[in-house]
Amino acid sequence: MQRFRPYVLPVAIVIGLLFHRFCGSIAFLVPYVIFTILLLTFAAVDLRRLRLTRLDVWLMLFQVVVSAACYVAVKMLFGNDIIAEGVLIGVLCPVASSVAVISCILGANRETVTTYTIVGNLMVAVVAPLAFTIVGEHPELTFMQSLLMIFAKIGTTLALPYFLALALQLLWPRGSAALARANIAGFYLWAVALFITLGQTINFIFLHGAGHWGSIAWLAALAALFCFVQFFVGRRLGIAYARRTHADTAASEALRIGAGQLLGQKNTGFGIWMANTFLNPLASVFLAFYCVFQNLFNAWQMANKVKS
């Protein structure tokens, strides 16, 4: 079964492209799929051992500072709000719910990636409303309204599985252990979420992209560029942190892989929702293309892992 994993994500992408009209009708399933992925992820790690580290701070600073700087730079260069907003949401977008599943397949530390899954999403929930208040397409929405909307969105998919997993670990260890053993199912559930989310966005492009093909082409090109940059920078930050903490060879490799995934692998479904809700909806095209590139890269990484 392991040797077929690298093909799962590309197949999900192709199916999403082919059946994009159908995906819109089942989009309501995505929050339930994400909830299940996170429950399996949290059950597989001792939540009482999670600790915030300096690496988490570096990753958060990159997302905040670079997203703001790139928004300004792209807007000055292109004079196009759609492209600038696409880059903003593409860098600021929180880490993917499936990051622990894929990262651990590649050799990352589960506690490291689980910690940032939580703190990274919470950081975005606070910072994003501030950004949307300044550059958003809906000035009638205040910071507090945006904050409450985003927290309501992530509350059911992040907080509930966290506290449920914690309660199971404390009150029913056997049930928690059973969920932990089923953790790999999260990878295949992510493929389902990918199929639905990507297909839904591709359908949106076909319906509303007319007259904006130049912007869409630039969003696709920049999505490829930023996908490479974020995976690369994340890995360099992981190496730097490993040196600073004098980690051994195995721990250094785990940090390198984990940090690259944490910065490069995005929760594109949530990012697309934020773009559609607070920005120009066409900005979500950046994340649709980013979703394709990041999952092709993940498939390539897993294929290399299987070969080794």
Other C-beta atoms lying within 10 Å of the C-beta of residue 192: 17
Question: For the chain, what are the domain ranges?
Answer: 2-303
User: Which residue has tokens 């319906």?
Assistant: 207
Per-residue pLDDT tens digits of the chain, which is 308 residues long = 566 667 777 887 788 778 877 877 888 888 888 889 889 889 888 888 889 999 999 999 999 999 999 999 999 998 899 999 999 999 999 998 778 888 988 999 999 999 999 999 999 999 999 999 999 888 888 899 999 999 888 877 888 899 999 999 999 989 889 988 888 788 888 888 888 877 877 777 776 666 778 888 999 999 999 999 999 999 999 999 999 998 889 999 999 999 999 999 998 888 988 998 999 988 988 998 898 899 889 989 988 887 76
Q: Is the CB of residue 286 less than 8 Å from the CB of residue 223? A: yes
Please tell me the predicted confidence (pLDDT) of residue 141.
87
End-to-end CA distance of the chain: 16
Please tell me the predicted confidence (pLDDT) of residue 3.
66
CA distance 83 to 202: 17
CA distance 131 to 66: 13
Q: Is the CB of residue 297 less than 8 Å from the CB of residue 10? A: no
- 89: which DSSP letter? H
Please tell me the predicted confidence (pLDDT) of residue 101.
83
CA distance 48 to 170: 10
Other C-beta atoms lying within 10 Å of the C-beta of residue 64: 18
CA distance 256 to 96: 17
Q: Is the CB of residue 93 less than 8 Å from the CB of residue 119? A: no
Residue type, 75: K
- 2: which DSSP letter? G
Angle at 43 between CA 41 and CA 46, to 5 degrees: 105
User: Which residue has tokens 């009638």?
Assistant: 140
Please tell me the predicted confidence (pLDDT) of residue 44.
87
Helices 284-307 and 185-208, interaxial angle, to 10°?
150
pTM of the model: 0.92
CA distance 225 to 277: 25
Q: Is the CB of residue 260 less than 8 Å from the CB of residue 238? A: yes
At the second CATH level, the architecture of 2-303 is Up-down Bundle (1.20)
Q: Is the CB of residue 39 less than 8 Å from the CB of residue 161? A: yes
CA distance 280 to 2: 40
Q: Give the 3-state secondary structure percentages of the chain, helix then strand then coil, rounded to 5.
A: 85, 0, 15
